[in-house]
Amino acid sequence: MSAVTKNPMTFVMLAIFVVMVAIASTYPAGARFMPFVVGIPAIILCLLQILLDMRASKETAGSKDSRSEMEIAQERMSQMTGRQMTFEAANLAPAITVSENPTGVAESREFIIWIYVLALVAGILFFGYTATIPVFILLFLRWEAKCSWLKAALYSGIGSSALLFIFNYVLKFQLHMGFITERVMDFLG
């Protein structure tokens, strides 16, 4: 199964964000700020997801074996014991069927995603892009990707630095400092 058919929504989202950034590039500097802030990281994440899907499909394609699980098990047991082994399988229907997506799991995942999105928006509004993005990436990688603290901090630093470099030096945008951060900076001088 190719990456295109495995997750077509990633390609749809990539197309939407590319068109959004392309259209926003014709706007004046102040008007294209928000589409770029949203669109460029989204394009990078979509491309990353496509690469991960392609890598996963190559790994599963490479591990496919034309033999059944029973034949593979027979061969392994024969190798372990040094004599020919054959198994006979009973053709029994399972007594209990387990749903692949139990009720409530999809809703709880959706709730968690909304919490992440709202926390990101609130963090950017109150504390600014520069302070929120590294913390958000760090915590997301630690909790959702189950990365170690060291890996999450390393990836957070690299990703945040790349995004800040793109926005500050390449696109020459003044990123939002955050309402609380601005007040603290004004108070401190």
Same domain? For 183 and 117 the reply is: yes
For residues 54 and 20, give the distance between their C-alpha atoms in angstroms, rounded to a whole number: 25
Single pTM value for the model? 0.50
Q: What is the number of other CB atoms lying within 10 angstroms of the CB of residue 124?
A: 19
Residues 55, 113: one domain?
no
One domain for residues 113 and 50: no
- Distance in angstroms (rounded) separating the CA atoms of residues 135 and 137: 6
The reply to whether 37 falls in a domain is yes
- 165 located within any domain: yes
Domain stops at, among 60, 77, 93: 60
Report the candidate in 106, 71, 96 with the shortest Cα–Cα distance to residue 85. 71
Total number of domains in the chain: 2
pLDDT of residue 3: 46
**32 phi and psi angles, rounded to 5 deg:** -90, 0
User: DSSP string of the chain?
Assistant: --HHHH-HHHHHHHHHHHHHHHHHTTS-TTTSHHHHHHHHHHHHHHHHHHHHHHHHHHHHHHT--SS-HHHHHHHHHHHHHSS-----------SS---SS-TTHHHHHHHHHHHHHHHHHHHHHHH-HHHHHHHHHHHHHHHTS---HHHHHHHHHHHHHHHHHIIIIIS-------HHHHHHHHHH-
What local confidence, expressed as pLDDT, does residue 15 receive?
A: 92
* Structural domain boundaries, residue 167: 107-189
Pair (128, 56) in one structural domain? no
Residue 33 placed within a domain? yes
For residues 118 and 181, membership in a common domain is answered with: yes
Rounded distance between C-alpha atoms, residue 135 and residue 128, angstroms: 11
Question: CA 67, CA 74: separation in Å to the nearest integer?
Answer: 11
Per-residue pLDDT of the chain (189 residues; tens, 9 = 90+): 454 556 688 898 899 999 999 999 998 888 888 888 888 988 998 898 888 888 877 776 665 555 677 777 777 777 767 777 776 655 555 544 444 555 566 677 778 888 888 999 999 999 998 999 999 999 988 988 888 999 999 999 999 999 889 888 888 888 888 999 999 999 998
Whether residue 56 is found in the same domain as residue 111? no
